[in-house]
Chains A and B, each alone.
Chain A
């Protein structure tokens, strides 16, 4: 039956997350941006609240929460500061892989609590050369990824010389270097960097899955990642909508609150619609994933490209609505716009995602299009 009512448990979780976001994360947002790392105390507190291992299976020491619950918590946390959420240690995106690999046991050899596993996707079409994997040798420089600086392990999806997908799990001591550029755009605390491999020889121990099995794992895991990331983007939008509404309700120009100008209030209305729609997509896709619905992967794709479009519009609008104040660092909105832009760049090109989704609608496979 159709219902938008969260469960009592969800409400309780979200309440805790929201309070933490408001009282703890938001006030230190600028400080963390300058330090470019998340303070240990924050990591510890989030760990104690259980928010670092929501996606992990119980047999890995995680909470194994449903997607529906997780997205609500991630959304609430991200209202505090997206950059902090993206800079946390832990399995992060890789957690979704271990969640969908129900028979995978090697992870037990990793001291899960202490591990930060950064995910490198090198199987997709990419304009720039990324990693190559030939005759069990991994070479090249990855595209910039989250968590590069602090990763203890790397989970890598790559194609071999036979165009088979291989999923690898490597400890960071086989890495030849981490190229960490200076991020001046956004998500400063997200430890973004590229990983260099100079002819790293891979042994059987490193291989997690091969071929169709690997493809299936990646598809399922990436769908979860897309929805979880979209949920965080909704959190960021929530912060921006709320801040801009409050600001425009009190800021005066031409003798009245600027909210009374329709150019302002209509924009707020549009921001809120975009945010709400994205949230609905997130919840719908989360439920589809929880219930293993047939079109769950499609729903996830739709969710992330909508979230990309929406988060750019909403954060840009928040800056616009604050006028010159929006552009200066005395107010949070300029940071949110930068963080949003960095976030959408890390999680795939919106137009490409939309095209891929459309191709699926008309039943044209990627291979056909590529000739």
Chain B
């Protein structure tokens, strides 16, 4: 049955995460931006509270045992609902929360049960831990098939050489899912995904980059020099890559990940837009003279912003719902990411305009504006999302865009 009403449990999650965002995250947002990091004691505290950034839909005990649960899966919907609230508090802090982060989905979708156990269960409350996802290289961003990092087969494992850039939480991560090629001439088919653990000889963080926004969140450059990774850290094991007929490759693993992470990224953009919008709406209600034409300008702008946020959220819910239902959702994941990323920037820019010059300094909205731009870039740029969508539209006509 079609319904846009949150279930009781979904509402609870929303309320709980909102409470956390409002009372724990927002109060330190500007300070963390100024510092350029999220304070460790704060991370320790939230880790003890069991708060993690989870981009993998939770598997129920039934799922794990292979039995079919009667209960409808709703991990993806829960994920987007909660993420919107957390990002509303602050997106840089949201991305810095302990947890598997973007590294979770590939392990969950392609890892062996042993690997899932080994890597996904380390996120306990004694000490904050992170996972990371390293696909991008200096010469390979949108074009993930151009990955140049090499993986050379040796006795008992592989030796990795190359560089990864722009890796979220890449320095602090306990492990990083790294994509490399065993043979560049094989293109996509030659790609493998490895889990490289912190402290592995030959693996280092060469630099953290300064950014326009998300300044409190770590973006790392990683260097791999003759870095030996044992067989047991090849994601999915050799078996996975023998299933050539199923198109298994590191590339396929990387792409599959996007279907679950893009709605999460979209929901973050929505959270940011909503934070800017709500702040501005409140200010307009309080401060704008009601008899002035400025209020007309503001009303027009606010209406547009409100509609953009609702539209982005519905697209995101649809993508998450399809994922929960096990229905292919690549197009919907691309649609929500493309729409949310682009319109969230417009919402933030319009908010700044309504705030006027006072918005320039010491202000959460200017920070959100700086943060939000990258949501139209990472996890696939706006242009790449449009390609994904257009491809599916033209497929029935035999045209590959």
Contact = CB atoms under 8 A, between A and B. Distances in A.
Interface of A: 125-128, 143-145, 181-186, 192, 252-255, 261, 263-264, 312, 316, 319-320, 323-324, 326-330, 334-335, 337-338, 341-342, 344-346, 349-352, 355, 359, 366, 369-371
A362 to B, nearest CB: 13
Nearest to A145: B357
B370 A184 contact: yes
A328 B166 contact: yes
Interface stretch (B19-27, B154-162, B371-379): B371-379
Nearest to B165: A324
9 contacts: A144-B358, A183-B360, A184-B361, A253-B140, A253-B143, A255-B143, A264-B383, A324-B166, A329-B210
Given A144-B360, A366-B293, 19 more contacts: A126-B356, A127-B284, A128-B287, A145-B357, A183-B361, A185-B361, A254-B145, A254-B146, A255-B143, A255-B146, A319-B212, A319-B377, A320-B377, A326-B373, A327-B377, A345-B356, A349-B353, A351-B297, A351-B301
Interface residues of B, number: 59
A370 B141 contact: no
Contacts of A346: 357, 360
B294 A125 contact: yes
A317 to B, nearest CB: 11
A323 B141 contact: yes
B392 interface: no
B17 interface: no
B349 A326 contact: no
B357 A324 contact: no
Given A183-B360, A345-B359, A351 B353 contact: yes
Contacts of B292: 125, 370
Nearest to B283: A127
B294 A127 contact: yes
B33 interface: yes
Nearest to B300: A351
Contacts of B58: none
Interface in B132-181: 136, 139-143, 145-146, 165-166
A335 to B, nearest CB: 8
B232 to A, nearest CB: 32
Contacts of B294: 125, 127, 352
A320 B381 CA distance: 8
A209 B370 CA distance: 41
B14 interface: no
B187 to A, nearest CB: 10
B299 to A, nearest CB: 11
B383 A261 contact: yes
Contact of A127 (B356, B378, B387): B356
Interface in B199-227: 209-213, 219
Contacts of A312: 349
Contact of A324 (B141, B143, B284): B141
A324 B373 contact: no
B373 A253 contact: no
Given A182-B34, A330-B209, A337 B291 contact: no
B289 interface: yes
A127 B358 CA distance: 10
A370 B293 CA distance: 6
B296 interface: yes
B211 A334 contact: yes
Given A323-B142, A328-B209, A143 B358 contact: yes
Contact of A344 (B140, B353, B377, B386): B353
B381 A323 contact: yes
A87 B102 CA distance: 42
A261 B139 CA distance: 17
B193 interface: no
Nearest to A193: B361
A312 B210 CA distance: 22
Given A143-B356, A337-B373, A344-B353, A327 B211 contact: yes
Which of A127, A312, A366 is most buried by chain B, counting CB atoms within 10 A of its CB?
A: A127
Contacts of A371: 291
B382 interface: yes
Nearest to B342: A320
A359 B352 CA distance: 24
A144 B355 CA distance: 12
A260 to B, nearest CB: 13
Contacts of B140: 253
Q: Which 8 A-B pairs have the closest CB atoms?
A: A181-B361, A334-B212, A253-B143, A329-B210, A185-B366, A181-B362, A263-B383, A144-B357
A327 B373 contact: yes
A199 B357 CA distance: 23
A350 B346 CA distance: 14
Given A263-B383, A323-B377, A328-B209, A316 B297 contact: no
A128 B367 contact: no
B169 to A, nearest CB: 15
Contacts of B166: 324, 328
A71 B256 CA distance: 52
B287 A324 contact: no
Interface string B237-281: 000000000000000000000000000000000000000000000
B298 to A, nearest CB: 8
Interface string B65-100: 000000000000000000000000000000000000
Q: Quick one: which of A144, A181, A185, A359 has the most chain B CB within 10 A?
A: A185
B281 to A, nearest CB: 12
Contacts of B383: 261, 263-264, 320
A185 B210 contact: no
B354 interface: yes
A347 B139 CA distance: 40
Interface centre among B34, B210, B370, B386 (most CB of A within 10 A): B370
A128 B358 contact: yes
A127 B288 contact: yes
A143 B376 contact: no
Contact of A329 (B145, B209, B366): B209
Contacts of B211: 327-329, 334
B360 A328 contact: no
A355 B353 CA distance: 14
Nearest to B292: A125
Contacts of A264: 383
A33 B192 CA distance: 42
B376 A127 contact: no
Contact of A355 (B139, B297, B358, B374): B297
Contacts of A326: 373, 377
Contact of A338 (B145, B146, B212, B359): B212
Contacts of B369: 185, 341
B320 interface: no
A186 B369 CA distance: 11
A328 B210 CA distance: 6
Nearest to A180: B361
Interface string B335-366: 00000000001000100111111111110001
